[in-house]
Amino acid sequence: MTDLVVIGLAYFEVFVPPHVRPPAGEEVFVDGIQLALGGALNTASVAAALGLKVTLCLPMGQGLVDQAVTLLAQRLGITLVPLAARDNPAISLVFSDAHDRAFVSTAELDVLSSVKHLPASTWVHVPGLEEAARLVLPLALARQNGANISVSGSWSPLQLSQLASRQDRAWDLLVLNEKEALAACGTVDAAPQRLAHTASSVLVTQGSQGIFGMLNGTPLRLPAVPTAVLDATGAGDAFCAGVITGLVRGALPKAAVQLGARTAGKILKQAGGLVTDSRLMADLTCDNLCKP
């Protein structure tokens, strides 16, 4: 039994320097171009740094990115469950600043439709609605076998538009950012109530305005952790990892969300959402926050 199964795609991310757009046929040199791994690996790496036993299920081929993911997972103590895919199945160009980010991506999402079952775990996290739409049956089976199911939004207009009409309450936790909540419900403040038939717990993150929603029957509204923001990429993934870690450790809802917020605050101070050194999260223990 593992604490957390994360299922999705690990993206190779190329961070495009802001305000650099060369004219056609010309080349512009910059001081540096950041490269990173991200996607589902963000949540997995943060949860592992927080001390959870993590399994990552993801499409993989034999490309350079796939080899890098394998080596990093070994280093971080993350168990990999590869799903046969083309080489380097997920790549993103990331356009970001301290306020928001945008992506141009390619991803072999349909590989997820071949998944029949998931490893036994306390929690399963799916970092995206498009991914969750392809995993309906294995997620339902995992839930029948005792796992809690967590899904985060990601920007998918079609899937977001369908959330409020769902009545299956197939998930235990749904996490959306402000833009996603607005797209799903037409209003941000009413999102937890309007999506209560989709997930038993719904949390909405609002950046510097904090977090609000419902977690395990407890209504919450908490301020953001004050922090200087370098890059917003991966902050939502880190928030989910922190909340799940708190719940696995027995935290009450408020403490679990506080841990999520503090974890996200760490990621906002760096470029990208990947944690390659667990010391980054060394002071985020449940000793003070997570005692019932």
- Domain range list for the chain: 2-23+30-289
CATH of 2-23+30-289, one of 3.40.1190.20, 3.60.21.10, 3.30.1330.120, 3.40.50.12780: 3.40.1190.20
- pTM summary value: 0.93
Could you tell me the pLDDT band of residue 287, with boundaries at 50, 70 and 90? low
Could you tell me the pLDDT band of residue 132, with boundaries at 50, 70 and 90? very high
According to the model, what pLDDT value does residue 286 have? Answer: 56
CA distances from 173 to 50, 71, 81, 199, 203 (A): 19, 31, 23, 6, 8
What's the whole-number average pLDDT of the chain? Answer: 92
Number of Cβ within a 10 Å radius of residue 237: 31
Distance CA 114, CA 106 (A): 19
**Tens digits of per-residue pLDDT, 2-33?**
999 999 999 999 988 888 888 999 999 999 99
According to the model, what pLDDT value does residue 4 have? Answer: 98
DSSP conformational letter for 96: E
- Could you tell me which residues come within 8 angstroms of residue 168 by beta carbon, excluding any fewer than 6 positions away? 197, 198
Tell how far CA 33 is from the center of its chain.
24
Structure tokens at 150: 């967590």
Structure tokens at 195: 């999506």
